[in-house]
A and B are shown apart, each in its own frame.
Chain A
Amino acid sequence: MTGAATQRAGGAMVEFDNVGLRYGPDGEILSDISFNLQPGSFYFLTGASGAGKTSLLKMLYLAQRPSRGIVRLFGEDLGSMPRHRLPGFRRRIGVVFQDFRLIPHLSARDNIALPLRIAGVSEEDLAGPVGEMLSWIGLDARAEARPATLSGGEQQRVAIARAVIARPQLLVADEPTGNVDPEMAMRLLGLFEALNRLGTTVVVATHDVHLISRIDNAQMMRLEKGRLSDPTGALRYPPNRA
């Protein structure tokens, strides 16, 4: 582990140590990635298109194993983790995709309820949280609407609700404001900030630098050509959020 990573590893929710990722025989698209994410913090991951943001996020939400290096989530090494244990870890992570990835034939209510159903929560017990979530994102009236009949902003809010309804410890969002207008982008960011205040660690990948200044104490990571930089030094010396 590198010096900085070692220094901050204690209590970290996520640790990347000298991680590399390649698809097929070509060169690495991510190289020498090392960082730690502290519980309850808010991170922005920036970089130009093609810099590797989505690939890095895939490793964060357990859709991809690293080609080399060590990725630890919640204190466990992803590289040596047996496959049958992954679902338990995934239930602790919420993911918001740029293209929403709602299940098209399910209503907004059923899409939001999905993580709870997968976790085995009874219909009786999930009705309340799903109703609250629909109110929180302002879509009570459209609860039974299919994604195709919702606007981009509404779909994104449903996707966010689905990502957070099971109260994940880590929320990962890939360009969550890429398909919405600036006003909706600010509203969505407000949702993330509210979740972060409740203790969820948030990682938002975006190339919109204006968003970054909107969140107090947010830390920034920058990817350039597959390598991570820390322009603000916040990763090496994170501010105390107490």
Chain B
Amino acid sequence: MIIPRVPVQHRRLLPEPRLSGPTPWVIAILMMLTLLAAGAGVGLARAAEAIGEAIAGRVTVQIVTPGPAARAEQAAELRRSAAGEPYVRAARQVGQDELLATLGQWLGSAGGDDPVLRSLPLPALVDIDLAAGDRAGQLARLKALVERIAPGARVIPHAEWLGPVARLIRSLAWIAGGLVLLMILASGAVVVMTARAALGTHYATIEMLHLIGATDRQIARLFQRRIAIDTAYGIALGTAVAAIVLLLVGWQWSRVTSGLAATASLGTGGWALLLALPLLAIALAALTARQTLLAALKKIL
């Protein structure tokens, strides 16, 4: 049982009211940081996974043949031919207007109708999604196809330039996981110190209880209950604050719809993990307190 049942008359053996010491507050802070780190970790891990999936088979072919008409013709031919290949899942020619709109965002000309922008010699782009399978072989065959249709065109696998970003995000997710582990250990240490401090504070009472025949389990249950309740208060407080922060961040995140940011979310499993963490923390605190108390009591005859 996480919080042991102790008769009311026995509970009075420990005098202080709850939330009298620093333990609930320290636990609340640690729990909040744990949940925020866990939330960040889950979000980053899912983002890394989403990016990984998105870039794994995506290739962009950049055709730089002189003459806009020739470029457009080669791009259309490449799209058609690629779409007919068995190792290609989808092929799409990026429209000129789409390119101009994207460049317009960077060059300060909204809408892409700037005459200067339109005068730029833009390459023709074809996005190709490869089917699952031998990536190296597929790329080699695609390059051969590109070379045949549009000599001199560049084949750019997205994994080459987005891969390091995905790896960085994955590393950050692992760091967040490490922080969660460290904070759980720190919380355990706080519980151990609290249990030992409680034994020190109430040593005279414990000695008396021992002398009149109380067992270690009876004494441990008294303290375990108090520590578990104090810890549960701290965990509840920390969880509430973390939930507010996570919901606010989630709300702000949901308004970011472009780029890599759009790939990050907690998902059902992530939220379930965040909800399970406080319950696990209470159980861990109660177990830690119990083991600490029993170990300490064994040192007293």
A interface residues (Cβ-Cβ under 8 A, vs B): 61-65, 83-84, 86-88, 90-91, 95, 101, 103-106, 110, 113-115, 117-119, 123, 162, 166
CA distance A125 to B204 in the complex (A): 28
Known A105-B15, A117-B9; contact A90-B208, beta-carbon cutoff 8 A: no
**What are the residues of chain A within 8 A of B218 when measuring CB–CB?**
118
Residue in chain A with minimal CB distance to B214 = A118
Q: Does B210 contact A (CB under 8 A)?
A: yes
Identify the closest chain A residue to B215 (Cβ).
Answer: A87
Tell me whether B212 and A118 are in contact (CB under 8 A).
yes
Contacts of A88 in B (CB 8 A): 213
Please name all residues of chain A whose beta carbon is closer than 8 Å to the beta carbon of B208 when the two chains form the complex.
Answer: 101, 103, 114
CB-based nearest B residue for A91: B213
CA–CA, A103 to B9, complex, Å?
13
Report chain B residues within 8 Å CB of A63.
Answer: 207, 210-211, 301
List chain B residues, Cβ under 8 A from A65.
301
Within the complex, the shortest CB–CB distance from B46 to chain A, in Å, comes to 51
CA A123 to CA B12, docked complex, whole Å: 14
From residue A200, how far is it (CB to closest CB) to chain B in Å?
16
List B contacts of A62 (CB < 8 A).
211, 301
Q: Mark B1-15, 1 if CB is under 8 A from A, else 0.
A: 000000101101101
Q: Does B205 contact A (CB under 8 A)?
A: yes
Given A105-B12, A110-B9, A123-B9, do A115 and B212 touch, yes or no (CB 8 Å)? yes
* Contact, CB under 8 Å: A90 / B13: no
New A-B contacts (4) at CB < 8 Å, excluding given A63-B211, A101-B208, A105-B12: A62-B211, A90-B210, A115-B212, A115-B213
Q: Which residue of B lies closest to A101 (CB)?
A: B208
Query: Bound complex: CA of A82 vs CA of B241, how far in Å?
Result: 49
Q: Given contacts A62-B301, A65-B301, is CB(A95)–CB(B211) below 8 Å?
A: yes
How far is it, in angstroms, between the C-alpha of A87 and the C-alpha of B211 when the chains are bound?
A: 8
B10 to chain A, nearest CB (A): 6
Q: How far is the CA of A63 from the CA of B72 in the complex (A)?
A: 96
B10 nearest CB neighbor, chain A only: A117
Chain B residue at minimum C-beta to C-beta distance from A117: B9
Residues of A within 8 A of B298 (CB): 83
- A139 CB to nearest chain B CB (Å): 19
Query: Inside 8 A of A123's CB, which chain B residues have their CB?
Result: 9
- Hey, what's the 0/1 contact readout for B208-233 against A, CB within 8 Å counting as 1? 11111111101000000000000000
A103-B208, A106-B13 given; A84·B213 CB < 8 A: no
Contact A90 B10 (CB under 8 A): no
Instruction: Specify which of A61, A84, A104, A166 is in contact with B215 (CB 8 Å cutoff).
Output: A84
**B residues in contact with A106, CB < 8 Å:** 12-13
Interface centre among A84, A103, A106, A119 (most CB of B within 10 A): A103
Q: Which of B9, B207, B211: most chain A CB closer than 10 A?
A: B211
As a 0/1 sequence over residues 99 to 136 of chain B, the CB contacts with chain A under 8 angstroms (1 = contact) are: 00000000000000000000000000000000000000
Partner of A114, one of B15, B207, B210, B212: B212
Provide the bound-state CA to CA distance between A101 and B207, in Å.
10
Q: Take A62-B301, A118-B218 as given contacts and tell me if A162 and B212 are in contact as well, using a CB distance cutoff of 8 Å.
A: yes
Q: Are A90 and B9 in contact (CB under 8 A)?
A: no
> Contact at A87–B12, with CB atoms within 8 Å?
no
A37 to B71, CA, bound (A): 113
A83 with B301, Cβ < 8 A, contacts A88-B213, A90-B211, A103-B13 known: yes
